[in-house]
Amino acid sequence: MKKIKVLHKSFSKPISCLTAYSPSIANILDGVIDLILVGDSLGSTLYGMKNTQGVTMDMMKRHGAAVNKEIKKSLKVLDMPYKTYENKVDAYKNAKILLDSCKPDLLKLEINKKKLVILRHLVSKKINVISHIGVTPQSYKNFSKIKILGRTNKEKNKLLNLAKESENVGAKAVLLECITADTAKLITENISIPTIGIGASKYCDGQVLVFDDLINLSTKNKKPKFVKNYLNFAKIANIAVKKYNREVKLKKFPSVKFTYN
């Protein structure tokens, strides 16, 4: 399971991927989920940022290292943050920092045509990379401006070519974000490396979600259409918090069972 070959098209079942930003969550996911992603979505999820552009190398290093301690079986993926791979020199320097401090199996970069040269350079340095195409959140200051891609033939062909070029320069997989189902199907059928989708339909070779969205940890933000809640943690936690508060007020907690003699 710890081999990159899990990312081959011949892998027997679709690839599952979830985010983790803390050791406790990583421990829950390890060995159950194929890929565990320390994503720059931690900016909005943990730090209350409006976008991912404020996520720093220090944040990724800190959370990446913390998560790494708990992962023994799943593959570890780490996002390179905004503006850390604008040129080949910076990209390799920052990639090395993340690899040395967090020990991920793969790094993920948001790619456009201009950044293919950077992807190629990292691959030439024997770094395993996932190419993130389609909607690339680091490009947006305001997520409300995000629009689904692949609805026109021009967009379809542009995304297909970018996926093919990502494969040609050596990407291990392509992550497709917020693209139409027929475009995702077209790409998946025309490249030999796996596609992992988020808001990109069942036609991908795998799927990724933010763990906090999966369990409905935050009820404040409107969730994208592609998010499915598998557990209403916010509701369950609210019940527990109210019970705790009531017991404290009534001096039922701590009882003798929870007291040292």
Do residue 216 and residue 239 come from a single domain? no
- Write out pLDDT tens, residues 244-258: 999 999 999 999 999
Please tell me the total count of domains within the chain.
2
Domain of residue 256, residue span: 234-261
Catalytic status, residue 177: yes
Q: Is the peptide bond before 254 cis (omega within 30 degrees of 0)?
A: yes
Please say whether the beta carbons of 213 and 198 come within 8 A.
no
pLDDT of residue 221: 73
Do residue 39 and residue 131 come from a single domain? yes
- Write out pLDDT tens, residues 61-104: 999 999 999 999 999 999 999 999 999 999 999 999 999 999 99
Do residue 222 and residue 135 come from a single domain? yes
Please say whether the beta carbons of 131 and 173 come within 8 A.
yes
For residue 19, what are the β-bridge partners? 37
Q: Which of 155, 177, 189, 247 is catalytic?
A: 177
Do residue 250 and residue 170 come from a single domain? no
Do residue 18 and residue 111 come from a single domain? yes
Q: CA 116 → CA 43, 66, 81, 160, 203, distances in Å?
A: 25, 30, 17, 14, 24
pTM of the model: 0.95
